[in-house]
């Protein structure tokens, strides 16, 4: 094992795959000369040159479409968005082309492309730069959606995403790029659609993904002092979603809380809630609780932002509610 920052794990994953396959290239704003807006492609221009690490204008619709079209000629592009908020400019290409090329061509053209960049809030960035779109993309057939929470998962899942023959939405966080963690040496991948049990527990299941899972970890540490045992599941992949791991845990703990940085209407937590009550209703000793942001655009005020975004205190309150304490 070695210790890497999240951004280094991303760069390693891309570089290792590009060394092994010349059809892979990286394209996006500031990915080359500037080493990436968050330094997640540091050194890649020097190694692979401007034909495979390509700076673009501020034109997400254009370079998303170029990447998708290039898959039809045998390429496997990695498209970086400076933030997925900006991907809204190119979402027509993602939804109407990347997600549908395989079906509409009768299977003649797979679309092996990765769209990656940060999702969700990252401090005082304002409403238009603080949105989480995981559930939007997961709602579209033909797309896979990956949201890692640590450097080891980031590297293994990104390598698996690059090798996948379907379009993958790979969502990171500006607030995680400096996070450090142990990463296995050598080549490894983590299969898409497999959740990870981060913490074994017996009293309540907490499901989360991405950077906000840190709040679940904090809550579990505090609750352990009161002899409440939390099991924490990191989904890692939102689409396909690992229902079985969640169901198995709920059948053990009999309680479920879902923590997700997203608006409350029609999100990943909503889908998971429906699936669990449909398939494990008799095992539940309390109603499922989902914890989301407030149903408003993200505020700029730090005081309001702290109220808008869920934290470990909200998790502790929810756990005690389902425990009837």
How far apart CA 231 and CA 254 sit, in angstroms, is 11
Q: Where are the alpha helices (DSSP H) in the chain?
A: 6-20, 44-48, 60-71, 91-93, 101-104, 134-138, 151-163, 213-224, 243-253, 268-279, 302-308, 312-322
Report helix, strand or coil for 199.
strand
Tell me the catalytic residues: 60, 129
How far apart CA 54 and CA 66 sit, in angstroms, is 12
- Tally of CB atoms within 10 A around 101: 22
How far apart CA 280 and CA 277 sit, in angstroms, is 5
Tell me the sheet residues that pair with 197: 233
Closest Cα to residue 172, out of 33, 10, 2?
Answer: 10
Cβ atoms of 64 and 115 closer than 8 Å: yes
């Amino acid at each position: 094992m070695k210790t890497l920052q999240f951004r280094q794990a991303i760069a390693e994953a891309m570089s290792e795959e590009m060394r092994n396959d010349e059809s892979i290239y990286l394209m996006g704003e500031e990915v080359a000369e500037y080493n990436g807006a968050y330094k997640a492609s540091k050194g890649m221009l020097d190694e692979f040159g401007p034909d495979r690490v390509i700076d673009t204008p501020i034109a997400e619709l254009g370079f998303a479409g170029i990447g998708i079209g290039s898959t039809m000629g045998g390429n496997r592009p990695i498209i970086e968005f400076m933030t997925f908020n900006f991907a809204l400019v190119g979402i027509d290409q993602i939804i109407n082309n990347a997600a549908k090329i395989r079906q509409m061509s009768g299977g003649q053209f797979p679309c092996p492309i990765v769209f990656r960049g940060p999702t969700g809030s990252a401090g005082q960035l304002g409403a238009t730069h603080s949105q989480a779109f995981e559930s939007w993309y997961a709602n579209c057939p033909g797309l896979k959606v990956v949201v890692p929470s640590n450097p080891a998962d980031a590297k293994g899942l990104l390598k698996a995403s690059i090798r996948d023959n379907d379009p993958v939405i790979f969502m990171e966080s500006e607030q995680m790029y400096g996070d450090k963690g142990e990463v296995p040496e050598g080549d490894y991948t983590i299969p898409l659609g497999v959740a990870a049990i981060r913490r074994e527990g017996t009293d309540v299941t907490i499901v989360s993904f991405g950077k906000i899972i840190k709040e679940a970890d904090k809550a579990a540490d505090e609750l352990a002092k009161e002899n409440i045992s939390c099991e924490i599941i990191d989904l890692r992949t939102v689409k396909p979603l690992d229902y079985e791991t969640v169901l198995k845990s709920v059948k053990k703990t009999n309680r479920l809380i879902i923590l997700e940085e997203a608006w409350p209407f029609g999100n990943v937590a909503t889908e998971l809630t429906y699936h669990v009550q449909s398939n494990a209703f008799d095992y539940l000793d309390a109603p499922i609780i989902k914890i989301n942001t407030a149903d408003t655009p993200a505020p700029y005020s730090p005081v309001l932002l702290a109220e808008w975004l869920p934290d470990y205190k909200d998790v502790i309150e929810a756990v005690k509610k389902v425990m009837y304490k």
